Amino acid sequence: MSSPKTIVLLRHGRTAWNRAGILIGQKNIPLDNGGRREAGRAVRSLTGIDAIYSSPLSRCKETAEIIGASLGLRVVLLMGLSERHWGVLEGRPKSERDRSQNPEGGETIDAFRSRVAEILPHLAGTRPLVVTHSGVIRLLCAQPNTLVPHAKPIELSFGTIESVGRQLKAKGDDLAT
C-alpha cells in the first residue's frame, strides 16, 4: 500500500492528571468523563478516516476506541506512539520537568526521537488517524514548544511528517526540547 497523502493527529482526551498539572509520561492513567466527551466530540470533525493507530496507553487507547466504534474502524496499537518515559518525574508536577534533560530512570531524548521516527512506515492507509500524546505530536509537527489541545484533530501532509522523521533520525536537532 502506498503512503497516505495526509495524516490526522489527535491527542488523547483529558485525564484527571492533566487537569491537575501532573506529568503522566508512560503511566496508565485513564480518561476522565470530560476526556470521554472530548473523544466523542472529536468524531464529528473526522471524515474520510480509513485507519486508526493509537498508543497502547489507556488514555489514547480509550480515545481511539470511542472514535473507532463510531466510525466502524478497528484500532491498531503501536508501542512507538507512546509518550516519552519521564522516569522519576512521572507523577510529579509538570513544572519540575526540563524537556532538554534526560530524566533519571527515563527515556533519553535520542531514544524518544528514534522510537517515534520508527513508527512512520507503519502508518498505512489513505487517511489514517493517529491517536497519541502531546510529546509525540510536537515531534511529528516539529514544533517543540506548541501547546497541543486534547482531542482536537491536526491534519498534516504525510510528506511533512516524513521530512520531520528524517530530521528526527539526524543527530543534533532540538525537536524534543
* Catalytic machinery residues: 12, 83
Tell which residue, 53, 2, 60, 1, has the closest CA to residue 36.
60
83: three-class secondary structure by DSSP:
coil
3-class secondary structure for 94-130?
Answer: HHHCCCCCCCCCCCCHHHHHHHHHHHHHHCCCCCEEE
Neighbours of 5 (CB within 10 A): 10
